[in-house]
Amino acid sequence: MKMTFRWYGSQSDPIPLKYVKQIPGMTGLMGLLDKPAGVDWPEDEFVALKKEVNDAGLEIEVIESVNVHEDIKMGLPSRDEYIANYISTIRMLAKHGVKVIVYNFMPVFDWLRTDLARVIPEDGSNSLYFDEKDLGEMGPLEIVRKTAEESHGFTLPGWEPERLALLEKTLKQYENIGPDDLRKNFKYFLDAVIPVCEEVGVRMACHPDDPAWPIFGLPRITHSQADFDKMVQLHDSPANTLCLCTGSLGSNPDNDIPAIIRHFGEMDRIGAMHVRNVKYLGHHHFREAAHLSSTGDLDLYEIMKAIHDTVPDTYIRPDHGRMIWDEQGRPGYGLYDRALGAAYLNGLWEAIEKGEGKHA
């Protein structure tokens, strides 16, 4: 297992790399370049990022947010141009040691919350929060405006302004696209990129829908074990994998997270893990919790045990921390609670290893 940390770059992230390096057991980053969907990532910019990360004593073997352009998801004629750019980016990243690319195939919205800083009554911290009832009072444009206002000036993953500038037009285009259509377009994308990944030694890791159900009438096709069973069969290859996010899938209590990890881990179809906890507050109503199992409704011990037993060499990052100790920063991506989460997950891992008579 390699413990990693999401970082947004020295020009955008208030957390210096030296702080990330000081988190016990931290090996590297799940990194990114802040680039619009569909562009061919500039090699010189990635080389500079890699050098900065390596100079801090960290690895960058996983890249997130090589975003899939909406034209690919909608199956428009322009998709081939964007797929060609994607393939070029895959080749460039592989050349510089990247092993896993995390992405998603969610239409329009990558993830959705109705409050980015809901106070947790038990301790006074705040965290990301979702209540579907609130969406009855807010349309898509309103939730975009609210999210931008609550982001403290930071760009949030999946909420990049250029992606949302044509929101009304894009939503209209999706009106005639159902789940089967989206899955067909997904297969077209995978059939193009997975052979390249096999050639250069990169694994694509698809992130689940977040939350784990359809929103605003948009088709969503990756939020259950059955969905991902279909996804891995769209192009059956060890390079076609999941980034299994416990909080995204776990937002739906019908998803048995340890069982899903074991299912896909035994198939060797997990490329990376995002590990976090959620607290259920009602139907389609939850908040994000500290990683400690008892603060939420997911069993982090059983989750880590399933990872240990079936995909022990995977990449993990502590996902979406609370804001604690008066920290101000990008919602969900502060330093302190994610550092605590990493320490907790590493502690569970050590206990599992020693419980089986292995050295940590």
Report whether 217 contacts 114 (CB < 8 A).
no
What are the contacts of 142-145 at 24+ separation with CB within 8 A? Answer: 143/112, 143/114
Structure tokens that stand for 292 in this block: 């400690």
Alpha-carbon separation of residue 315 from 75, 251, 296 (angstroms):
31, 22, 23
Residue from 86, 174, 333, 336 carrying the catalytic annotation: 333
Dihedral of the alpha carbons of 331, 332, 338, 342, in degrees to the nearest 10: -160
Residues in contact with 76: Cβ distance below 8 Å, sequence separation at least 6, in sequence order: none
CB atoms within 10 A of CB 9: 17
Residue from 223, 235, 320, 337 carrying the catalytic annotation: 320
Report whether 66 contacts 89 (CB < 8 A).
yes
**Coil, helix or strand for 75?**
coil
Give yes or no: 245 in active site: yes
Residue from 245, 336, 337, 344 carrying the catalytic annotation: 245
Report whether 357 contacts 44 (CB < 8 A).
no
Q: Single out the residue of 79, 27, 75 nearest to residue 54, CA to CA.
A: 27
Give yes or no: 283 in active site: no
Give yes or no: 333 in active site: yes
Residue from 131, 209, 319, 337 carrying the catalytic annotation: 319
Residue from 235, 274, 291, 308 carrying the catalytic annotation: 274
Give yes or no: 263 in active site: no
DSSP state of 176: G
Dihedral of the alpha carbons of 39, 45, 49, 51, in degrees to the nearest 10: 140
Residue from 8, 115, 207, 315 carrying the catalytic annotation: 207
DSSP state of 322: P
Catalytic amino acids? 207, 245, 274, 319-320, 333
